[in-house]
């Protein structure tokens, strides 16, 4: 066994752990912003999950009168990579059994996963366009004035 190699590996692990903690703290703050603004700025929206006991980089929210896949497509056209449903059903168009078990909407949902290095201005840009996109998808689906 090489002592210098073992020491280098231990130091690399410490640096990676410290970097992970800092990245998680930053992403947790961004997700807090998403949770607050979606709930306040998009009518008939529900932010899913515990605000504290959660992964630091993932947030799911649901919208009444919206098709989740149509919303994902509209957001993708604007350059935002999001998904619909829960992660465990990401390859299926079936409603999420996880969301159903949680007692929340199983349709019209979006899952946002922030990568390391996500910036506040990117999140703000997403949040600035989201209400209008939701409204357009609702209108296209005939769900206006409800």
- Residue 135 inside a domain? The answer is yes
Both tokens of residue 131? 């209400």
What's the domain range around 42? 3-140
Q: What is the tally of structural domains in the chain? A: 1
- Residue 52 inside a domain? The answer is yes
Q: Distance between CA 114 and CA 29 in Å, rounded? A: 11
Task: Tell whether the model's pLDDT for residue 79 goes beyond 90.
Answer: yes
- Residue 146 inside a domain? The answer is no
Given the residues 12, 88, 100, 120, the one annotated as active site: 88
- Residue 145 inside a domain? The answer is no
Both tokens of residue 52? 């504290």
Q: Distance between CA 93 and CA 83 in Å, rounded? A: 11
Q: What percent of the chain has pLDDT over 70?
A: 81
Task: Tell whether the model's pLDDT for residue 110 goes beyond 90.
Answer: no
pLDDT higher at 20 or 42: 42
| Rounded mean pLDDT, 48-55 | 86
Q: Across the chain, where does the E strand assignment appear?
A: 45-48, 58-63, 109-113
Mean of the per-residue pLDDT values of the chain? 83
CATH number of the CATH domain containing 25: 3.90.1150.10
| 52 is a catalytic site residue | no
- Residue 132 inside a domain? The answer is yes
Q: What confidence score (pLDDT) does residue 42 get?
A: 93
């Amino acid at each position: 066994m090489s002592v210098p190699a073992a020491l280098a590996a231990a130091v690399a692990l410490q640096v990676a752990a410290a970097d992970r903690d800092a990245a998680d703290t930053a992403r947790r703050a961004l997700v807090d912003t998403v949770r607050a603004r979606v709930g306040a700025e998009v009518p008939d929206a529900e932010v899913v999950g515990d605000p504290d006991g959660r992964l630091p980089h993932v947030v799911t929210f649901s919208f009444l009168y919206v098709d989740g896949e149509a919303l994902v497509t509209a957001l993708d056209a604007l350059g935002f990579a999001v998904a619909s449903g829960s992660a465990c059903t990401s390859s299926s168009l079936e409603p999420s059994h996880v969301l159903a078990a949680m007692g929340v909407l199983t349709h019209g949902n979006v899952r946002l996963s922030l990568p390391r290095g996500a910036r506040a201005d990117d999140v703000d840009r997403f949040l600035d366009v989201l209400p209008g996109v939701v409204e357009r998808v609702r209108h296209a689906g005939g769900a206006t004035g409800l």
